[in-house]
Amino acid sequence: MLKIENLVSHYKTIEALHGISLSVGSDEIVALIGSNGAGKTTLLNSISGHVTKSGLIEFNGTDISNMPAHRIARCGLLQVPEGRHVFPGLIVEENLFVGTTAITGIRLLAGNQKEKLDMVFSLFPRLEERRTQLAWSLSGGEQQMLAISRALMGNPKLLMLDEPSMGLAPKVIEELFGKIVEINRLGTPVLLVEQNAKLALSVSARAYILERGNITLEGPSEELISDERVREAYLGKRKSKNQ
Amino acid sequence: MNLQLLFSGFSTGIIYSLIAMGMVLIFRSVGIMNFAQGEFLMFGGYFCYMFNRLLDLPIGLSLILASICMGFVGVVFMRTSYWPLRHAESKAIIVSAMGASIALKEGARLIWGAVPVTVDRASEGVVNIGTAVIMKQNIAIIVIAFMVMVLIYLLLEKTFIGNIMQATAQDQYMASLTGIPVIVSIGMTFAISAMITGIGGGLLAPLFFLNNTMGTTAGAKAFAAIVIGGFGSVPGAIVGGIIVGLVEAFGGAYISSTYQLVLIYVVLFIVLMLRPQGLFGEKIQEKA
Ligand SMILES: Nc1ncnc2c1ncn2[C@@H]1O[C@H](COP(=O)(O)OP(=O)(O)O)[C@@H](O)[C@H]1O
Ligand SMILES: [Mg+2]
């Protein structure tokens, strides 16, 4: 589905990713774990066409590494960015309509989107209650639901989520991750970026660990969760090392 | 109350509103005050003159064709004066817009000459209300400008393409992540902005004659209208424009016709002293 080889990314003269290789299969949840500043967002933004880079990025057999961002989205590779980025001045429903641009491009009228709206509202009933509210007025959890739903309105062939748990209460996170698993079960592969390693490993089939712009570890999530290095660095099982 | 002054002030004012509204649409879209907006008025007026007087088309059709031409001018302006500098500091873009305004002024002189010209009235004759004699053109200006505003409102608020333009204005990064070609979306905003301002030129021409420098003062008045109405607010720009027109008309008649512009700035200072954010402005508008 998504295949990345030897990806090197730059901000001006600073190299932020030093040769990443990674793949996501057609029905799995793959987690990308790393601490703050490791380069997780840079990786997603490189894939979606927002960071200067070199290397191979193939999506469904097509080389997308030189495509502009909006074309990549129209291929069905949809990113829900860090910080949600709902359109604050549009109401919930309009935010969702805008998401359909990924399928149809710009047009005069939104057309009948009832089927799609029903689909996201059944997944997130709270959004239906908030349907005519301006997006900025939603709570953090609701904004995250809206951001994911907006991507779902675009029929993603692969969904890239950047730290969906950020800033949310534990109960909300639990509910949200249940929905992410459900979305995946309905047939959408997910590349899940998280600082919260425990959570990400518990819902994913495979995982990559990113440290300072390099993948340092990869494998089935079950194995990583019991890996000594992972436990020490990401699961709060710190030993004497720091003392 | 002098009805005649009221109508003439209101109708020139609503043309300032069209300029101000065009500026605000661009400001909301890319965060830049377009100081070449007044030149869109002048250029639109000349296009209207070309269709109406040189090609002998009826004024209604000329206004529509002129507006369409201005759509193209808006796109070219965006592509040449804004897009190459979109990552630069805003002062660079402001200077570039000022350059474009000189190019538009001199371009108009090269194409249509330096002699002031005019176009047909959209509506001939006068209406008598009591003792007041009101030009039908003034009424036509108000009606047409109002229709343009309603159309723009419907386009921006009630259509998908309007949502796309708003979404792009609010968050370009996210817009591109949903599959919106940002350059197209911004181009449409510039096109609409130039179209509504350009129509104003064709409406104003029968009253004041067209010359290639008229855009500069009109642009300055529209900017005052924006500040009075509240930076970035569309309703504010409309109301601000009308206020400027009325101040100009009544001030010109009762106080001094040489100091009209001064009077506008006096009103502007009074509004800013009482309400620093302008009449319709929110305290500080967050651009998410
Ligand atoms: N726009 C930018 N310009 C320059 N450097 C950046 C920019 N964004 C991120 N970086 C740098 O790239 C590195 C990776 O950042 P990021 O991808 O945001 O990490 P993460 O998402 O894992 O927290 C950091 O060192 C960060 O300072
Ligand atoms: Mg990040």
Cβ of residue A37 lying under 6 Å from some atom of ligand 1: yes
User: For residue B246, how many other CB atoms are within 10 A of its CB?
Assistant: 18
Distance of CA B56 to the CA centre of its chain: 26
Residue A84 main-chain phi, psi, to 5 deg: 70, -50
Residues B38, B185: Cα–Cα separation, whole Å: 23
The pLDDT value given to residue A237: 61
Hey, is B119 helix, strand or coil?
Answer: coil
The position carrying tokens 């004497």 is A240
The pLDDT value given to residue B284: 52
Residues B133, A109: Cα–Cα separation, whole Å: 45
pLDDT in tens, B159-180: 999 999 999 999 999 999 999 9
Mean pLDDT, chain B, integer = 93
Provide the pLDDT confidence category of residue B115 given band limits of 50, 70 and 90.
very high
Residues A80, A192: Cα–Cα separation, whole Å: 10
pLDDT in tens, B86-100: 999 989 999 999 999
The answer on pLDDT for B187 being more than 70 is: yes
State in Å: Cα A239 to ligand 1 middle: 29
The pLDDT value given to residue A238: 53
Which residues of chain A does B173 touch, with a Cβ-Cβ cutoff of 8 Å?
A: 50, 81, 85
Handedness of CA A113, A114, A119, A121 (dihedral sign): positive
The answer on pLDDT for B282 being more than 80 is: no
State in Å: Cα A197 to ligand 2 middle: 14
Mean pLDDT, chain A, integer = 94
The residue-averaged pLDDT of A46-69 equals: 96
Determine contact: B132 vs chain A, CB below 8 A. no
Provide the pLDDT confidence category of residue A145 given band limits of 50, 70 and 90.
very high
The pLDDT value given to residue A236: 73
The residue-averaged pLDDT of A95-114 equals: 93
Of ligand 1's listed atoms, the one at least distance from the Cα of A210 is 22
Residue A21 main-chain phi, psi, to 5 deg: -125, 135
For residue A148 the two structure tokens come to 């994911």
Cβ of residue A136 lying under 6 Å from some atom of ligand 1: no
The answer on pLDDT for A110 being more than 80 is: yes
End-to-end CA distance of chain B: 45
For residue A2 the two structure tokens come to 């998504």
User: Of A152-161, B41-50, B262-271, where does mean pLDDT reach its minimum?
Assistant: B262-271
For residues B239 and B229, is the Cβ–Cβ distance under 8 A?
A: yes
A24-50+63-76+157-243 CATH choice from 1.10.20.10, 3.40.50.300, 3.40.50.1370, 3.50.50.60: 3.40.50.300
Q: Write down the domain spans for chain B.
A: 12-212
Of ligand 1's listed atoms, the one at least distance from the Cα of A213 is 14
Considering only residues A107 and B71, tell me which one the structure prediction assigns the higher pLDDT.
B71
pLDDT in tens, B46-69: 999 999 999 999 999 999 999 999
The residue-averaged pLDDT of B73-91 equals: 95
The pLDDT value given to residue A35: 92
Provide the pLDDT confidence category of residue B260 given band limits of 50, 70 and 90.
confident
Domain with CATH 3.40.50.300 in chain A: 24-50+63-76+157-243
Hey, is B128 helix, strand or coil?
Answer: strand
pTM, 2 dp: 0.92
